[in-house]
Structure 1
Amino acid sequence: MNDQVSQKVRFVTIEDDLSGQRIDNFLRTQLKGVPKSMIYRILRKGEVRVNKGRVKPEYKLQPQDLVRIPPVRVSQGQPAPSPKLDSIAALTSHILFEDDRLMVINKPSGMAVHGGSGLSFGLIEGLRALRPEAKFMELVHRLDRDTSGCIIIAKKRSALRHMHEQLRTGKMDKRYHALVCGQWPDSRFKVKAPLRKNILQSGERMVSVSEDGKPSETRYHVLKRFNSASLVEASPITGRTHQIRVHCLHAGHPIACDTKYGDSEFDTEMRNNGLNRLFLHAASIAFIHPVSETTVRFEAPYDNALSSIVSKLQDR
């Protein structure tokens, strides 16, 4: 039998903590493993009802809404986290902090934050599989697939709203470590250059400095110097796509092993020293905890690849 029914008709009453969430995002958490295309199909056909009426995907849930979730027939071959059980289980060791509101993860390099673009699952899908009892689990912010380090997951909608407010008002302090080509000057404390995002025909995102781009600023200071490279700390003031990577390139000091914005000669040298990944790491994050209202700070240790290259460059 190729198909299986995922569940019977269910009725869910929306609690206050889930209010304000779009119905399509809510259904994705309720119908784990069901592709987005099918979720939009059952919404379009009116199989999902809110208070007995049809709704559009952008409808925002209200407290005490009664949501009818239909039985969904899912092909057993549909993408699901199961083939990646080892990767999912390994995420447990990457948890830096967890309580009933938030989780802070040291995201591995090479793992996308969410499924899509041909990927059956990413970090958030893996965490939902790891915590099947969690009613709510959403990314507070994002990291590029090849960037490692601190990322926050909200376990309640109220915590997500609290965190997003901090992002909007600049109260969240994110610090990245990047190994860059050449000697970053001590006198260069910031890069302020507008960025424009372009989507190529292939669907790939490329960002460039452009006068008609969005205002963007990153602050820097040097942590260590090596013969042909510098280890810098980068603090983004704005949060544009690929911001740190493009600002480093714009400053004339591209990041090691950056396949989009790197320097091929420098990258070859770093690969010859054993570096096989982008050296951009979200080293620490500080924010106001939504319950205690006090500032908390978390640091993510380097993985073996980053620790190894720093050690080799120091020994020269």
Structure 2
Amino acid sequence: MMKPLPQDPNRPRLIEVDAETAGQRIDNFLFSRLKGVPKSHVYRILRTGQVRINGGRSKAQQRLNEGDVVRIPPLRLAEAPEAGIPTPWLENRILHEDEDLLVVNKPAGMAVHGGSGLRFGVIEGLRAAREDARFLELVHRLDRDTSGCLLIAKRRSALRQLHEQFRGEGVDKTYLALFSGVWARRRQVVDAPLLKNVLQSGERMVKISSEGKAAITEFRRLEPLSGATLVEARPVTGRTHQIRVHARSLGHPLAGDERYGDPSLNQDFRQRGLKRMFLHAATLAFTHPRNGREIRVEAPLEPDLQDFLSAVRPRG
């Protein structure tokens, strides 16, 4: 059980690690308990030895064991969530929740977590909204410009089991995507390994390469449109930018994709009303980590994408 925390803000906190928290990295442990404290400051108190585990200094990547005692120095926490974190409407976008996990309909344009110049993301917003939550961690990632189903664990044990499902074949994901141009085929499976490169700017670029990791995506045509094709994409594997790179390999990059798309086509789509990449995580199905029953969640298509589809549907 977790020890009660001293209420005196001028005294260190002593927290005993329980079985649920065991295995978590110390930096993530601190992030979940020091709401309102900038990440840079959390890393600073780790680096300077102000955080102790069983009386000894620790590094950010050190993992906690059951029974460890974590000493946290006195810190002045923010009175309210950091300015700019839109917590109320994030709560309104929850599609499913129980005592072990939740699924949120992530909005396009919001990263799943802060960092790399971003002050906050979905996970920081939820933590700020739920100050009493002991544990909230991302199970997987979505690109910043992708909307739809995002799974978050509320228990360490659930996170471990869900990670195992994502690494295997226990999770079924489908996306709605818009191909540039008219795609004549009804179905196609792209089996092409992907290699990720990180540029000096920190930007991630992915390309098809025999030196990469195995990547398989199943595409199915849903609806032909004016100068575009609505498709369902099912990634069998879960590589970075997988759907986007595989779509480009077919000669039909995703509409609005600034990284892998066609600039001239993207400009035409913008003039027709598409303001962002058309990629939406529509459904997510997995086995519940506690009771073993199947959970299937659907995120409705965002209104801006619905409106664009109406605009490009052939008339008459």
Give the TM-score category using the shorter length: over 0.9
Q: Which runs of 5+ in 1 are unaligned?
A: none
- SS of alignment partner, residue 297 of structure 1: strand
Within a 5 Å distance, the mapping from 1:15-164 to structure 2 comes to 15-72=18-75, 81-85=81-85, 87-164=86-163
Q: 1:288 to 1:74 in 2, by over 3 A?
A: closer
Cα separation, 1, equivalents of 2:162 and 2:77? 34
Report the alpha carbon displacement of residue 309 of structure 1 after superposing the two structures with TM: 1.0
Cα separation, 1, equivalents of 2:126 and 2:314? 38
Q: 1:98 to 1:45 in 2, by over 3 A?
A: same
AA aligned opposite 2:63:
K
- SS of alignment partner, residue 57 of structure 2: coil
TM-score (norm 1): 0.92
Cα separation, 1, equivalents of 2:48 and 2:261? 47
Name the one with the larger helix percent: 1
Cα separation, 2, equivalents of 1:29 and 1:203? 26
Name the counterpart of 1:219. Answer: 218
Deviations 1:84-130 (CA, angstroms, capped at 9, x unpaired): 25x22111221101111111000000000001111111100000011
Q: 1:302 to 1:49 in 2, by over 3 A?
A: same
Q: After the TM superposition, which of the residue ranges 280-289 and 44-53 deviates more from structure 2? A: 44-53
Name the counterpart of 2:182. Answer: 183
TM-score (norm 2): 0.92
Within a 5 Å distance, the mapping from 1:191-270 to structure 2 comes to 191-270=190-269
- SS of alignment partner, residue 286 of structure 2: strand
AA aligned opposite 1:20:
G
Name the counterpart of 1:173. Answer: 172
The 8 Å contact of residues 36 and 128 in structure 2, kept in 1 or not, is answered as no
AA aligned opposite 1:60:
R
Report the alpha carbon displacement of residue 38 of structure 1 after superposing the two structures with TM: 2.6
The 8 Å contact of residues 226 and 314 in structure 2, kept in 1 or not, is answered as no
Report the alpha carbon displacement of residue 187 of structure 1 after superposing the two structures with TM: 5.2
RMSD after superposition: 1.9
Cα separation, 2, equivalents of 1:235 and 1:7? 53
Q: 1:93 to 1:74 in 2, by over 3 A?
A: closer
Deviations 1:217-262 (CA, angstroms, capped at 9, x unpaired): 1111111111311111111111111110011011101001101011
Cα separation, 1, equivalents of 2:52 and 2:305? 50
Cα separation, 2, equivalents of 1:15 and 1:145? 34
What's the % identity of the aligned pairs?
54
Report the alpha carbon displacement of residue 47 of structure 1 after superposing the two structures with TM: 1.6
AA aligned opposite 2:45:
I
- SS of alignment partner, residue 208 of structure 1: strand
The 8 Å contact of residues 277 and 305 in structure 1, kept in 2 or not, is answered as no
